[in-house]
Structure 1
Amino acid sequence: MTDNTLKPYVVPQFTAQDYSSFFLAAIDVVKTRIQIDPAYKKFNLLSGARHVIANEGSAGLLTGFGPTAVGYLVQGGAKFAGYEFWKKQFTQIAGDQESAVKYRTAIYLGASSVAEFFADILLTPLEATRIRLVSERNYASGLVTGFTRLAREEGMRGLYSGFLPILCKQIPYAIGQFTVNEFCHELAFRSMSEEKRANLSPSAQFSISLGSGVIAGFAAAILSQPADTLLSQINKGHGPTGSMPHRLKVLAQEAGFKGLFAGLGPRMIMTAGLVSGQFLMYGWIKTALGAPPGLEIHKEAK
């Protein structure tokens, strides 16, 4: 006889130290992102470097490095820790294990979106500072002076003028990154017994994490590519004047479907390496910090 009683979902009670471990792990993970600036690729790597050095000296190559590094480190840490937090909250709202598993896609989508939203609140002012340092020579000497000047002269409007484009890019990216990674792990583990999973070799664990991360990276690149293209155009000053939604709409119409996905292939390769590296490092550093495993709500095999 089948017991149809709904069982409450046993949710781990993460402490503040656990969330700080998630945050610190993610900070180490996302340091690779400071090397990637897709918005200012007027030249290829070598010709661009030669152009900067010729005009500004070798120090010009580090223009905007401070806000880019700090911005993406803080944003990445907040995103990974935030995803763990909001996944737990939405799981508890579901109320029981059966409901949590049934609505796990919505939980993944909601947790990744909300986590990214709050993380981008931290990122946007620093990204605005970076853009000014790169686009206006002699604007300021670095992160602190640039941020202070922008806040003083333009206030919140100046600091958050790029918030909507960043959300349009980063939320689809986070959805692909986390949701697809969750389902890839679920598929890998579904056919395994608890005993087999508990005794997986390090190489098997690495293979599952790497493969899941690569596929999640492909998904993140595809979902965020249109907004990434538009954000690059906005940052270069292209498009009409007016409200940000209007500018994005006009640029999208001008680019067309093909234009919005131009350069997708190389970006998929880059993002696959980036995302898989993030998840691998995130797992290793969590282990080193003694953080507990993240909450799983995967569907079990029947």
Structure 2
Amino acid sequence: MASEDVKTSEAAVTTIVSLAEEAKLAREGVKAPSYAVLSICKSLVAGGVAGGVSRTAVAPLERLKILLQVQNPRNIKYNGTIQGLKYIWRTEGFRGLFKGNGTNCARIVPNSAVKFFSYEEASKGILWLYQQKTGNEDAQLTPLLRLGAGACAGIIAMSATYPMDMVRGRLTVQTDKSPYQYRGMFHALSTVLREEGPRALYKGWLPSVIGVIPYVGLNFAVYESLKDWLVKAKPFGLVQDSDLSVTTRLACGAAAGTVGQTVAYPLDVIRRRMQMVGWKDAASIVTGDGRSKAPLEYTGMIDAFRKTVRYEGFGALYKGLVPNSVKVVPSIAIAFVTYEVVKDILGVEIRISD
């Protein structure tokens, strides 16, 4: 018993000493291992919350955008943003406006968490390399370097969650009258795996990778650069005490979203269409060669571009751009601001732009 008491006392002393050391390190500005892990977790949580909140807020526009992107050109149901939303409401009700949002959130929460965290880590790594190369320890990230960090973050996040994005696209376009129904995300995943094989989960991945570079890269680069410029130039009295208001940050996010989505949008259309390939009932939604009964077939990204432009015109590459613009501007703005606000609430020291 005595030896057990001694061991217990020694363990307690060891624990107290460890806690004291961590507290000392924290006071001195050095992150102890557990402190660093906690900070990473908080950063991931902030990114996940930002993604979930922003996407749910614009879910009806997200669904309409995808329906416009892939609808059969011989059987037009959705002619625009207002008409499209009214049609969904009339034929499918309120729930129809949010169809696929659960799957979207299941994808976007980890996607957003990984994206924001990857951006911060990539930014730190790129900045360190830039400082070493220039020999200037006070050097800061340039817009081009931010573009590179954003591109890295986008590729990592998109690749990690792409299968969920693929099945989300199919869940989103099916209606109550579709000949086959996926019952949910996991049913869709298992069905695609069983009927089309594992590679089918990454259909459209290449245009997604190419598209995510300008899209996410420009989002971060424009947002960060605008913030830096506003803090330094202080135009129109928008900055008080070197801090931007929520409204100003929302405006920066809106500008970033507008630039990024306009450049990358055609690749998003092609990605959605390639995701439909192999789905035996996709011909009821979109056609591959302009005939309403034809199976949907693309041999690759270039072929998808070629057939889309040949049979539907160049404008088909921008189908759904209006609802996407209405969606992206508030979505990106809300995501950036929510991320920073949640990190403030959780007490995370590192913030993008710092």
Give the TM-score band, short-chain normalised.
0.7 to 0.9
* Gapped regions of structure 1 (runs ≥ 5): 1-11, 298-302
Please state if 1:18 is matched with 2:54.
no
Paired residues of 1:226 and 1:261 also in contact (CA < 8 A): yes
The structure 2 residue matched to 1:82, chosen from 94, 107, 118, is 118
The structure 2 residue matched to 1:121, chosen from 152, 156, 159, is 159
The separation in 1 between residues aligned to 2:42 and 2:160, in whole angstroms, is 19
Please state if 1:224 is matched with 2:264.
yes
Q: What's the offset of the Cα at 1:181?
A: 0.5
Change (3 A) 1:158 1:259: closer
Please state if 1:165 is matched with 2:207.
yes
The structure 1 residue matched to 2:253, chosen from 200, 204, 213, is 213
Q: What's the offset of the Cα at 1:237?
A: 4.0
Please state if 1:294 is matched with 2:315.
no
The separation in 2 between residues aligned to 1:149 and 1:277, in whole angstroms, is 34
Paired residues of 1:27 and 1:77 also in contact (CA < 8 A): yes
Q: Between Structure 1 and Structure 2, whose CA radius of gyration is higher? A: 2
Please state if 1:243 is matched with 2:299.
yes
The structure 2 residue matched to 1:108, chosen from 107, 132, 146, is 146
Q: What's the offset of the Cα at 1:290?
A: 1.0
Aligned residue for 1:292, secondary structure, equals coil
Change (3 A) 1:128 1:211: closer
The separation in 2 between residues aligned to 1:278 and 1:295, in whole angstroms, is 13
One-letter identity of the residue aligned with 1:17: L
2:185 equivalent in structure 1: 143
Paired residues of 1:239 and 1:250 also in contact (CA < 8 A): no
Taking only the aligned residue pairs, the percentage that are identical comes to: 21
What TM-score, normalized to structure 1? Answer: 0.77
The structure 1 residue matched to 2:230, chosen from 188, 210, 217, is 188
2:19 equivalent in structure 1: none
Please state if 1:72 is matched with 2:97.
no
Paired residues of 2:228 and 2:353 also in contact (CA < 8 A): no
Paired residues of 2:151 and 2:217 also in contact (CA < 8 A): yes
The separation in 2 between residues aligned to 1:191 and 1:153, in whole angstroms, is 58
| Superposition pairs of residues 32-47 of structure 1, within 5 angstroms | 32-34=54-56, 35=59, 36-37=62-63, 38-41=65-68, 42-43=77-78, 44-47=84-87
Q: What's the offset of the Cα at 1:160?
A: 0.7
* Gapped regions of structure 2 (runs ≥ 5): 1-29, 69-76, 79-83, 277-284, 290-296
What TM-score, normalized to structure 2? Answer: 0.67
Q: Per-residue displacement from partner, 1:219-256 (whole Å, max 9, x unpaired)?
A: 12222222233334444544453432222330464366
Q: What CA RMSD, in Å, does the superposition of the two structures yield over aligned residues? A: 3.2
2:49 equivalent in structure 1: 28
Change (3 A) 1:247 1:100: farther
